[in-house]
Amino acid sequence: MKRAIVAVALAAGCGSGSSWSTVDPPQMMFPTSLALWVAGEGDIWLGGATIWHGDGSGTWTETAPATPVGVTDFWGFAPNDIYAASDSRVLHWDGSAWTDVPPTTGVAFDALYRIWGTSGRDLWVANTDNSRIYHYDGTRWTVQTLQFVMADALWGASANDIWLSGTTDLYHYTNGSWMRYDSNDAPTGVMGFWGTAADDVWAAGSFDELAHWNGSTWEIDEEADYGAGFNAIWGASGDDIYAVGDLGFTGHYDGDSWSVSQEGGNTEFFHRVHGSGSGNVWATGVDLQRQKVLVLRKD
Protein backbone atom coordinates (compact mmCIF):
# COMPACT_ATOMS: atom_id res chain seq x y z
CA MET A 1 0.00 0.00 0.00
CA LYS A 2 1.35 3.41 -0.95
CA ARG A 3 1.37 6.05 1.73
CA ALA A 4 3.00 9.46 1.58
CA ILE A 5 4.25 11.47 4.52
CA VAL A 6 3.51 15.18 4.37
CA ALA A 7 5.87 17.84 5.65
CA VAL A 8 4.20 21.20 6.24
CA ALA A 9 5.98 24.53 5.87
CA LEU A 10 4.56 28.04 6.02
CA ALA A 11 5.58 30.86 3.72
CA ALA A 12 4.77 34.54 4.03
CA GLY A 13 2.98 34.63 0.68
CA CYS A 14 3.67 34.51 -3.03
CA GLY A 15 6.83 36.44 -3.74
CA SER A 16 9.81 36.65 -1.41
CA GLY A 17 10.33 33.35 0.40
CA SER A 18 7.81 31.60 -1.79
CA SER A 19 8.35 29.01 -4.50
CA TRP A 20 5.61 30.56 -6.67
CA SER A 21 5.71 33.97 -8.34
CA THR A 22 2.72 36.07 -9.32
CA VAL A 23 2.16 37.00 -12.96
CA ASP A 24 0.01 39.95 -13.99
CA PRO A 25 -3.45 38.60 -14.98
CA PRO A 26 -5.49 39.94 -17.89
CA GLN A 27 -7.83 42.85 -17.23
CA MET A 28 -11.22 41.40 -16.32
CA MET A 29 -14.14 41.56 -13.98
CA PHE A 30 -13.47 39.62 -10.78
CA PRO A 31 -14.40 35.95 -11.39
CA THR A 32 -14.79 33.05 -8.97
CA SER A 33 -12.38 30.85 -10.92
CA LEU A 34 -10.22 30.78 -14.03
CA ALA A 35 -9.82 27.72 -16.24
CA LEU A 36 -6.17 27.02 -17.12
CA TRP A 37 -4.29 25.17 -19.84
CA VAL A 38 -0.54 25.31 -20.49
CA ALA A 39 0.26 24.20 -24.04
CA GLY A 40 3.95 25.07 -23.81
CA GLU A 41 6.49 27.69 -22.83
CA GLY A 42 4.90 31.06 -23.60
CA ASP A 43 1.63 29.36 -24.56
CA ILE A 44 -0.82 29.81 -21.66
CA TRP A 45 -4.62 29.76 -21.85
CA LEU A 46 -7.04 31.22 -19.32
CA GLY A 47 -10.80 30.81 -19.46
CA GLY A 48 -13.52 32.82 -17.77
CA ALA A 49 -16.02 35.26 -19.19
CA THR A 50 -13.86 35.11 -22.32
CA ILE A 51 -10.65 33.31 -23.39
CA TRP A 52 -7.17 34.81 -23.01
CA HIS A 53 -3.90 33.63 -24.51
CA GLY A 54 -0.70 34.51 -22.66
CA ASP A 55 2.95 34.66 -23.65
CA GLY A 56 4.16 33.76 -20.17
CA SER A 57 5.29 37.25 -19.22
CA GLY A 58 1.95 38.80 -18.31
CA THR A 59 0.86 39.87 -21.78
CA TRP A 60 -2.61 38.52 -22.57
CA THR A 61 -4.63 38.57 -25.81
CA GLU A 62 -8.35 37.94 -25.93
CA THR A 63 -9.10 35.18 -28.46
CA ALA A 64 -12.70 34.22 -27.76
CA PRO A 65 -15.31 33.69 -30.48
CA ALA A 66 -17.49 36.63 -31.50
CA THR A 67 -20.34 35.54 -29.21
CA PRO A 68 -19.78 35.54 -25.41
CA VAL A 69 -18.46 32.43 -23.66
CA GLY A 70 -18.01 31.34 -20.06
CA VAL A 71 -15.19 28.81 -20.18
CA THR A 72 -14.97 26.43 -17.22
CA ASP A 73 -12.36 23.91 -18.40
CA PHE A 74 -9.80 23.09 -21.11
CA TRP A 75 -8.32 19.90 -22.48
CA GLY A 76 -5.76 19.76 -25.26
CA PHE A 77 -3.61 17.45 -27.36
CA ALA A 78 -1.31 19.95 -29.09
CA PRO A 79 -0.88 23.73 -29.21
CA ASN A 80 -3.22 23.78 -32.22
CA ASP A 81 -5.69 21.22 -30.89
CA ILE A 82 -7.36 22.41 -27.67
CA TYR A 83 -10.97 22.02 -26.50
CA ALA A 84 -12.92 24.15 -24.04
CA ALA A 85 -16.12 23.50 -22.10
CA SER A 86 -18.34 26.57 -21.87
CA ASP A 87 -21.75 26.06 -20.26
CA SER A 88 -23.83 25.21 -23.34
CA ARG A 89 -20.95 25.07 -25.83
CA VAL A 90 -17.88 23.01 -26.66
CA LEU A 91 -15.18 24.99 -28.46
CA HIS A 92 -12.10 23.95 -30.44
CA TRP A 93 -8.87 25.87 -31.06
CA ASP A 94 -7.13 24.92 -34.33
CA GLY A 95 -4.17 27.24 -33.93
CA SER A 96 -5.84 30.27 -35.43
CA ALA A 97 -9.43 30.50 -34.15
CA TRP A 98 -11.96 29.07 -31.70
CA THR A 99 -14.97 27.39 -33.33
CA ASP A 100 -17.96 25.49 -31.97
CA VAL A 101 -18.21 21.72 -31.88
CA PRO A 102 -22.00 21.68 -32.12
CA PRO A 103 -24.27 19.13 -30.46
CA THR A 104 -25.84 16.50 -32.70
CA THR A 105 -29.51 15.68 -33.10
CA GLY A 106 -31.19 14.70 -29.85
CA VAL A 107 -28.44 16.09 -27.62
CA ALA A 108 -28.64 19.45 -25.84
CA PHE A 109 -25.63 20.88 -24.01
CA ASP A 110 -26.39 22.20 -20.54
CA ALA A 111 -24.17 23.46 -17.68
CA LEU A 112 -20.97 21.92 -19.13
CA TYR A 113 -18.15 22.02 -16.59
CA ARG A 114 -15.37 19.42 -16.98
CA ILE A 115 -13.76 18.07 -20.17
CA TRP A 116 -11.26 15.27 -20.85
CA GLY A 117 -10.39 12.98 -23.73
CA THR A 118 -7.80 10.97 -25.59
CA SER A 119 -8.34 12.78 -28.92
CA GLY A 120 -10.87 14.86 -30.83
CA ARG A 121 -12.58 11.56 -31.60
CA ASP A 122 -12.90 10.59 -27.94
CA LEU A 123 -14.05 13.48 -25.76
CA TRP A 124 -15.96 13.36 -22.48
CA VAL A 125 -17.75 16.36 -20.93
CA ALA A 126 -19.50 16.30 -17.55
CA ASN A 127 -21.99 18.92 -16.40
CA THR A 128 -23.19 20.53 -13.18
CA ASP A 129 -26.90 19.91 -13.69
CA ASN A 130 -28.71 16.57 -13.45
CA SER A 131 -25.60 14.35 -13.58
CA ARG A 132 -25.10 14.32 -17.34
CA ILE A 133 -21.98 12.97 -19.03
CA TYR A 134 -21.53 13.61 -22.77
CA HIS A 135 -19.31 11.69 -25.19
CA TYR A 136 -18.10 12.73 -28.64
CA ASP A 137 -16.67 10.25 -31.16
CA GLY A 138 -15.58 12.88 -33.65
CA THR A 139 -18.91 12.85 -35.45
CA ARG A 140 -21.72 12.26 -32.99
CA TRP A 141 -22.51 13.26 -29.41
CA THR A 142 -24.28 10.92 -26.98
CA VAL A 143 -25.41 11.70 -23.45
CA GLN A 144 -25.94 9.58 -20.34
CA THR A 145 -27.41 10.45 -16.93
CA LEU A 146 -25.64 9.10 -13.83
CA GLN A 147 -26.05 10.16 -10.18
CA PHE A 148 -23.08 12.39 -9.38
CA VAL A 149 -25.32 15.52 -9.22
CA MET A 150 -22.66 18.13 -10.11
CA ALA A 151 -19.31 17.19 -11.68
CA ASP A 152 -16.18 18.26 -9.81
CA ALA A 153 -13.38 16.31 -11.53
CA LEU A 154 -12.90 14.25 -14.70
CA TRP A 155 -9.70 12.50 -15.81
CA GLY A 156 -8.62 9.25 -17.40
CA ALA A 157 -5.53 7.09 -17.71
CA SER A 158 -6.78 5.79 -21.07
CA ALA A 159 -9.89 5.62 -23.23
CA ASN A 160 -11.15 2.74 -21.10
CA ASP A 161 -10.07 3.89 -17.64
CA ILE A 162 -11.66 7.17 -16.52
CA TRP A 163 -12.54 8.68 -13.13
CA LEU A 164 -15.41 11.10 -12.49
CA SER A 165 -16.32 12.69 -9.17
CA GLY A 166 -19.33 14.72 -8.20
CA THR A 167 -21.21 16.08 -5.23
CA THR A 168 -22.51 12.70 -4.12
CA ASP A 169 -20.67 9.93 -5.96
CA LEU A 170 -17.43 8.68 -7.45
CA TYR A 171 -17.61 6.88 -10.82
CA HIS A 172 -15.11 4.69 -12.66
CA TYR A 173 -15.38 3.98 -16.40
CA THR A 174 -14.04 0.57 -17.44
CA ASN A 175 -15.17 -2.16 -19.83
CA GLY A 176 -17.20 0.37 -21.80
CA SER A 177 -19.48 1.55 -18.99
CA TRP A 178 -19.67 3.90 -16.00
CA MET A 179 -20.00 2.23 -12.60
CA ARG A 180 -20.41 3.93 -9.24
CA TYR A 181 -17.42 3.27 -6.99
CA ASP A 182 -19.01 2.24 -3.69
CA SER A 183 -16.09 0.86 -1.71
CA ASN A 184 -15.41 2.24 1.77
CA ASP A 185 -11.92 3.31 0.66
CA ALA A 186 -13.30 5.93 -1.77
CA PRO A 187 -11.95 9.45 -1.26
CA THR A 188 -14.59 12.13 -0.69
CA GLY A 189 -14.97 15.57 -2.16
CA VAL A 190 -12.55 14.88 -5.02
CA MET A 191 -11.85 18.08 -6.98
CA GLY A 192 -9.08 16.79 -9.24
CA PHE A 193 -7.44 13.62 -10.58
CA TRP A 194 -4.07 13.05 -12.18
CA GLY A 195 -1.89 10.01 -12.73
CA THR A 196 0.62 8.18 -14.88
CA ALA A 197 -1.27 4.91 -15.45
CA ALA A 198 -4.43 3.01 -14.56
CA ASP A 199 -2.75 1.77 -11.36
CA ASP A 200 -1.13 5.08 -10.39
CA VAL A 201 -3.74 7.82 -9.93
CA TRP A 202 -3.82 10.64 -7.39
CA ALA A 203 -6.97 12.41 -6.20
CA ALA A 204 -7.04 15.84 -4.59
CA GLY A 205 -9.98 16.44 -2.27
CA SER A 206 -11.80 19.36 -0.74
CA PHE A 207 -11.76 17.62 2.66
CA ASP A 208 -8.00 17.90 3.24
CA GLU A 209 -7.38 14.71 1.29
CA LEU A 210 -4.70 13.41 -1.02
CA ALA A 211 -5.46 9.84 -2.04
CA HIS A 212 -3.70 7.28 -4.23
CA TRP A 213 -5.24 4.56 -6.43
CA ASN A 214 -3.01 1.51 -6.97
CA GLY A 215 -5.29 -0.25 -9.44
CA SER A 216 -7.45 -2.01 -6.85
CA THR A 217 -7.91 0.29 -3.83
CA TRP A 218 -7.72 3.95 -2.81
CA GLU A 219 -5.49 4.86 0.11
CA ILE A 220 -6.10 8.22 1.74
CA ASP A 221 -3.01 9.92 3.08
CA GLU A 222 -3.95 10.57 6.70
CA GLU A 223 -0.94 12.87 7.13
CA ALA A 224 -2.30 15.38 4.60
CA ASP A 225 -4.91 16.93 6.91
CA TYR A 226 -3.69 20.51 7.22
CA GLY A 227 -7.02 22.32 7.61
CA ALA A 228 -7.95 23.26 4.05
CA GLY A 229 -8.99 21.48 0.89
CA PHE A 230 -7.13 20.80 -2.35
CA ASN A 231 -8.90 21.94 -5.52
CA ALA A 232 -6.66 20.69 -8.34
CA ILE A 233 -3.73 18.38 -9.09
CA TRP A 234 -1.34 17.94 -12.02
CA GLY A 235 2.00 16.29 -12.57
CA ALA A 236 4.94 16.56 -14.94
CA SER A 237 5.81 12.97 -14.03
CA GLY A 238 5.13 10.41 -11.33
CA ASP A 239 7.75 11.99 -9.09
CA ASP A 240 6.88 15.62 -9.79
CA ILE A 241 3.23 16.30 -8.90
CA TYR A 242 1.59 19.54 -7.77
CA ALA A 243 -1.63 20.18 -5.83
CA VAL A 244 -3.20 23.55 -5.03
CA GLY A 245 -5.98 24.49 -2.66
CA ASP A 246 -7.66 26.80 -0.20
CA LEU A 247 -6.06 29.30 2.19
CA GLY A 248 -3.00 29.63 -0.05
CA PHE A 249 -1.81 26.03 0.32
CA THR A 250 0.12 24.12 -2.32
CA GLY A 251 1.58 20.63 -2.27
CA HIS A 252 4.40 18.86 -4.12
CA TYR A 253 5.08 15.13 -4.44
CA ASP A 254 8.63 14.01 -5.25
CA GLY A 255 7.92 10.31 -5.73
CA ASP A 256 8.38 9.44 -2.07
CA SER A 257 6.48 12.03 -0.04
CA TRP A 258 4.28 15.11 -0.21
CA SER A 259 5.39 18.48 1.13
CA VAL A 260 2.73 21.11 1.78
CA SER A 261 3.38 24.85 2.01
CA GLN A 262 1.16 27.83 2.65
CA GLU A 263 2.35 29.93 -0.27
CA GLY A 264 -0.37 32.57 0.00
CA GLY A 265 -2.47 34.16 2.69
CA ASN A 266 -5.66 32.87 4.27
CA THR A 267 -7.78 34.84 1.79
CA GLU A 268 -6.12 33.28 -1.26
CA PHE A 269 -7.77 30.28 -2.88
CA PHE A 270 -5.98 28.39 -5.66
CA HIS A 271 -8.34 26.60 -8.06
CA ARG A 272 -6.35 25.20 -11.00
CA VAL A 273 -2.85 23.92 -11.68
CA HIS A 274 -1.37 22.81 -15.00
CA GLY A 275 1.90 22.79 -16.90
CA SER A 276 3.79 21.55 -19.92
CA GLY A 277 6.74 20.21 -17.93
CA SER A 278 8.55 20.48 -14.62
CA GLY A 279 9.94 23.90 -15.52
CA ASN A 280 6.64 25.36 -16.69
CA VAL A 281 3.94 24.92 -14.05
CA TRP A 282 1.14 27.46 -13.52
CA ALA A 283 -1.79 27.96 -11.15
CA THR A 284 -4.81 30.24 -10.99
CA GLY A 285 -6.98 31.41 -8.13
CA VAL A 286 -8.47 34.42 -6.38
CA ASP A 287 -7.74 36.63 -3.40
CA LEU A 288 -11.17 37.14 -1.87
CA GLN A 289 -10.12 39.95 0.45
CA ARG A 290 -8.58 42.07 -2.30
CA GLN A 291 -11.08 40.92 -4.96
CA LYS A 292 -8.14 40.06 -7.18
CA VAL A 293 -7.47 37.37 -9.77
CA LEU A 294 -4.33 35.31 -9.12
CA VAL A 295 -2.08 33.87 -11.82
CA LEU A 296 1.03 32.11 -10.50
CA ARG A 297 4.07 30.42 -11.97
CA LYS A 298 6.22 27.88 -10.14
CA ASP A 299 9.78 29.13 -9.73
Residue 7 confidence (pLDDT): 40
Question: How many structural domains are present in the chain?
Answer: 1
Distance CA 72, CA 112 (A): 8
**Range of the structural domain that residue 140 is part of:** 6-298
Residue 83 confidence (pLDDT): 98
Residue 234 confidence (pLDDT): 98
pTM for this predicted structure: 0.93
> Residue 251 is inside which H or E element, if any?
strand 249-253
Does a structural domain hold residue 14? yes
291's torsion region: left (phi>0), alpha (psi -120 to 50) or beta? left
Residues in contact with 40: Cβ distance below 8 Å, sequence separation at least 6, in sequence order: 79, 276, 280
Q: Which amino acid is at 115?
A: I
User: Measuring CA to CA, which residue among 43, 94, 49 is closest to residue 71?
Assistant: 49
Distance CA 189, CA 72 (A): 19
How far, in whole angstroms, is CA 158 from its chain's centroid?
17
Does a structural domain hold residue 284? yes
Mean pLDDT for each 10-residue chunk of the chain (299 residues)? 38 54 88 91 95 94 84 97 96 96 95 98 96 97 96 98 94 97 92 98 88 95 70 97 94 91 90 97 95 94
Residue 4 confidence (pLDDT): 40
Q: What is the DSSP letter of 288?
A: T
Phi and psi for 291 in degrees, rounded to 5?
50, 55
- Whats the size of the chain, residue-wise? 299
Does a structural domain hold residue 1? no
How far, in whole angstroms, is CA 23 from its chain's centroid?
19
Residue 44: CATH number of its domain: 2.130.10.10
Residue 225 confidence (pLDDT): 58
Does a structural domain hold residue 105? yes
| Helices first, then strands: H and E counts in the chain | 0, 29
